[in-house]
Amino acid sequence: MRAALLVALAVIAVTVMALAADHYLYRPTIVFVDDRPGASQAPRRVLSRIQADLERVAVGETPWPLPPGVGRDPLERLVEAEDALLRGRWRAFHDHAEAVRAEALRRLARQDEMIRGQPHQADLDRVMLPLAYAEALTPPKGAEPLGVLVRTLRLVDAVLVLEAAETSHHQMRYDMTARRNLWVLTERDGILDGVRLRLPCPLVKGRAAAFATLAKEMGELAGPLLSCPVPDSLAGDFALLERLARHPADFARHAVPPPPAPPSLYGEAPPSPPWDKAAAIRFMDVSPDGAEPALRLATLDSASARLDLALFLHAFRDRSAARDEEIRSLMAGIDGLSLGRVRESMGRFFTPPVPYDGTDASLVPSLRLAAMTKVAESRSGERYVYSYAIPCAVLLARPALAAAMDFTAAPGPDDDSMTVDFTPAISGCLAGRGRVPGFPEADLAAFVEASAAADGAQNGNHPKTPRYPVMQMDLPRMAAVVFDPRQTLDWPEPVMEFPYQTWGYGSLDNHAAAETLRSAYLRARESLAGWFRAKGLSEAESVSGASRALFVLAHGSSCGDAPPPASLRRLLLERASVARMAELPPPEPERLKPFGDCARFAPFDPLVHLAVGHPALPLLWELAGGKMVPDPEGFASLRDVDRRNHFGKTPLMEAARFDLANAAAFLLDKGARVNADTWQTSRLQPLAHDSRTALIYAASNGSAATIRLLLAAGADRRQTDSKGLRAVHYLLGLGPLPANMRLSPAEREELVRALY
């Protein structure tokens, strides 16, 4: 008896110790209700709320309430249908499902009518219209409740996705079956790609075979059925998902590794053979024999590759009857394709091609026309296409071919507009198709790529070339930088120490990007000045020209004027002492004008968001409690722990994003709402992944300590972003960011179990 009692006491002690160690797992979730006007009714917000409530109901929790006076969308009865199914209340389940289906069909009929009323829509035959989509999702007679629930789920998310698309005017080109926008001009046009509701992962337990049958019956209409945190390649392996759902820590083994680093630029020496097409384009002048096999193999892919081969033969093979006949044959095929695409609007820009006769002049009309009609084109990634770029080695060997690149009215350094819808060929020396020996392309490419973190919408709205990440409209500027740097001395003189310096004081994210850019700028300026000196400029002219060139190539780099030498915003981000901030006199509003001018284009965060990155946050809190009148910078806002920035982000989310555990603990102690989520109630361009919480930010980039802290404070692990992803997805790299690399394998397993 005594031994049994000792064993029981030991078990209790071990249990208590385990609970103490993992106490954050058992802290009750703190419910957050967003009472901002209009924050609850947006279609994507409803999608996020339905997904989160489906997750909560699946584990016996209750849906979160809405603000007083705000009603639920009728489609949210889907959550009640799931609850009834799990409880075996079949009559209630069918009542809820029928009500949801009736509402969805009514709203899809409206969408169908809108689409058919668009006469300019050219893609009607490429997508299933809403009513046809709904018809395809009609449950067969005698369908099992799970099948009814899944088909109803697909009707609900179709309605909400189409309604969310209305404001963007792209819904008519949205393929509901594949869940992607068919008309993509910028990355922002893909904001609704991949949006689907999913049933909670725990539902797979005991139902793996039923889900497999459903997926087979529904085909492409099914899409991913479960919210299990696994890569898409495993989403249809329901037997595996059932095993993982029973042992959640094992999900950690399927974390998505971070993307590989982009391939570095080739140096001046070619790689070892055999070459790929990129190496062949870059080094065809070094070894024509090494380049030719890769160029010939590539001709199977496109007219662009056949044009590459023709130009290579023209520039690097001795003239012969056989060579001329091959080039003539290649160009005749390209000319035939080009003439089939000639548009009346080309007007005076169109010059008919002529048969190849061995001269540069006979190739120029064909080159221009192939580029203008996009028969030959160069690509940057999957979506962006720009005009055909003549290989640099060909241009250097045959300079007369540059006539094919003639812009009738080329944009100047201060003109970002293109004068025509179509452009002739462009220089591969500027677009990454080859090299100019001795030019510091690696440093320049690193700088322009770093500037892309700060240029807002500019580089997202225009095609970028593959090696230099400059835009097509930058090419005349790049031509001056590479071949005639004296032109840069007439470009605007910078007023800042480095591009985006003033912008860098807008937020912690801005500041981190600006510091990275500063380093890239100094390296690029030094190497570019060396190139300018080699082109005949003096030491002073070289440094000045290089600075001007880099500011011009970084779009929007002079956002505002030079930053004021002293301000609370600047001192906070530079982590100055609290004593210095206390002694700083209130600046005149005019001195803060550069920040205001820049914030018109890229809104700045409130000072409280910057303060979370300062190591003396408690002292700043006390300082902000004193009387600071006047307070033109809003220093008193440091005590507003739930102050939102223009993205709806709170200071606690900022602390989680940058893994500032001490700052997060301080904010929580001062009453910060742990489950507040981002949501833009303004007219700003919506984020693809909105409705994020501090826990989601921490899961993506925080340490185990920060994630545990938030869980212990009652952070809700069921909350989803606007694409239905939870914190556990972000931790494993299944969202828009790489997997959290701050965690050890043991921590990753522990936290996957905690977040699942």
Residues 6+ apart with CB under 8 A from 228: 201, 204, 235, 241, 244, 245, 251
* Ranges of H-type helices in 88-187: 90-116, 130-136, 145-165
In a domain, 488, yes or no: no
Kindly state whether residue 505 falls inside one of the protein's structural domains: no
> Are residues 154 and 20 both part of a single domain?
no
> How far is it, in rounded angstroms, from Cα 225 to Cα 157?
12
Residue 660 in any domain: the answer is: yes
627 in any annotated domain:
no
306 is a domain residue: yes
DSSP per position, 306-364: HHHHHHHHHHHS---HHHHHHHHHHHHHHHHHHHTT--GGGGGG--------SSSTTTH
Query: Are 10 and 108 members of one domain?
Result: no
Q: What is the mean pLDDT of residues 434-457?
A: 82
Rounded to an integer, the average pLDDT of 371-378 is 86
Q: Is residue 476 included in any domain, yes or no?
A: no
pLDDT at position 214 over 90: yes
Residue listed under structure tokens 């078990």: 11
Largest Cα separation within the chain, whole Å, is 107
Concatenated DSSP letters of 56-70: HHHTT--PPP--TT-
**Residues of the chain above pLDDT 90, percent:** 62
Q: Is residue 214 part of a domain?
A: yes
Are 674 and 652 spatial neighbours (Cβ–Cβ below 8 Å)? yes
DSSP bridge pairs for 226: 199
287-335 pLDDT, tens digit per residue, is: 999 999 999 999 988 999 999 999 999 999 999 999 999 999 999 999 9
Between residues 411 and 293, which one has the greater pLDDT?
293
In a domain, 546, yes or no: no
Question: Cβ neighbours of residue 300 under 8 Å, at least 6 residues apart?
Answer: none
For residue 601, CA distances in Å to 204, 237, 558, 650 come to 47, 47, 11, 21
449-462 confidence digits (pLDDT tens): 888 777 653 444 33
Q: Specify the pLDDT at position 5.
A: 45
**Which CATH number goes with the domain that contains 731?**
1.25.40.20
- Both 48 and 26 in one domain: the answer is no
Transcribe 221-248 into DSSP letters: GT---B--SS-GGGTT-HHHHHHHHHSG
Kindly report which listed range (89-98, 196-205, 340-349, 407-416) carries the lowest average pLDDT score: 407-416
Tokens of 680: 């833009």
Pair (19, 81) in one structural domain: no
Q: Say what the pLDDT of residue 539 is.
A: 97
Whether 679 contacts 687, CB under 8 Å: no
Query: Comparing 641 with 165, which gets the higher pLDDT?
Result: 641
Tell me what pLDDT residue 374 has: 86
Yes or no: say if 369 and 350 are a contact pair by the CB < 8 Å rule: yes
Kindly report the average pLDDT of the chain as a whole number: 86
Q: For the segment 75-127, what is each residue's pLDDT rounded down to a tens digit?
A: 999 999 999 999 999 999 999 999 999 999 999 999 988 888 775 554 556 67
Neighbours of 219 (CB within 10 A): 10
Q: Determine what percent of the chain falls in helix, strand and coil, rounding each to the nearest 5.
A: 55, 5, 45
pLDDT top residue among 105 and 9: 105
**Residue that terminates a domain, selected from 436, 452, 476:** 436
Query: Which residue has tokens 């160029």?
Result: 295
Confidence of residue 627 (pLDDT cuts 50, 70, 90): low
Q: Specify whether 217 is located in the same domain as 178.
A: yes
- Domain's final residue, options 225, 254, 283: 254
For residue 325, what are the contacts with CB-CB under 8 A and spacing of at least 6? none
Q: Kindly state the average pLDDT of the residues 388-416.
A: 73
204 and 175 in a common domain: yes
**Do 678 and 694 belong to one domain?**
yes
According to the per-residue pLDDT averaged within each range, which of 369-383, 465-479, 588-602, 709-723 is highest? 709-723
675 token code pair: 């489950």
pLDDT at position 464 over 60: no
For residue 575, name the pLDDT band (cuts at 50, 70, 90). very high
* 389-390 and 426-427 beta bridge pairing: parallel
Q: Which of 9-13, 334-338, 656-660 has the lowest mean pLDDT?
A: 9-13
pLDDT at 519: 96
Q: Residue 286 is part of which domain span?
A: 274-436
Domain finish residue from 391, 406, 436: 436
Which residues sit opposite 464 in a β-bridge? Answer: 471
Q: Give yes or no for a contact between 695 and 711, defined as CB atoms under 8 angstroms apart.
A: yes
Same domain membership, residue 23 and residue 68 = no
Q: What's residue 19's pLDDT?
A: 37
Model pLDDT for residues 704-715, shown as the tens digit of each residue:
999 999 999 999
What is the end-to-end Cα distance of the chain in Å, rounded? Answer: 41
**Same domain as 382, residue 330:** yes
Instruction: Let me know whether 345 and 428 are in one domain.
Output: yes
Q: Into how many domains does the chain fold?
A: 3
pLDDT of residue 267: 67
Residue 174's SS3 state is strand
* pLDDT of amino acid 386: 62
pLDDT over 60 at 6, yes or no: no
How many C-beta neighbours within 10 Å does residue 19 have?
11
Give the whole-angstrom CA distance, residue 741 versus residue 721.
Answer: 21
Region of 671 (left: φ > 0; alpha: ψ -120 to 50; beta: rest) is: left
* Assigned token pair, 146: 């799970």
**Residue written as token pair 């061995």:** 358
- 5 and 96 together in one domain: no
Do residues 213 and 284 share a domain? Answer: no
Query: What does the pLDDT read at residue 173?
Result: 76
What is the spatial distance between Cα 610 and Cα 633, in angstroms, rounded to a whole number?
Answer: 12
On the question of pLDDT at 510 being above 50, the answer is yes
Go through 457-493 and write b for each residue having 16 or more CB atoms within 10 A of its CB, e for each that does not.
ebbeebbbbbbbbbbbbbbbbbbbbbeebebbeebee
Q: With contact defined as beta carbons under 8 Å apart, do 674 and 668 qualify?
A: yes
Q: What percent of the chain has pLDDT over 70?
A: 85
Mean pLDDT of 65-69: 91
Query: What pLDDT, on the 0 to 100 scale, is given for residue 427?
Result: 85
Check if the beta carbon of residue 263 is closer than 8 Å to that of residue 282: no
Among 244, 206, 239, 214, CA closest to 228: 244
Q: What is the DSSP string of 651-673?
A: HHHHHHHTT-HHHHHHHHHTT--
Which pLDDT does position 21 carry in this prediction?
A: 37
Six-digit token string for 414: 């201060």
Burial readout 370-393 (b: 16 or more C-beta within 10 A, e: otherwise): bbbbbbbbbebeeebebbbbbbbb
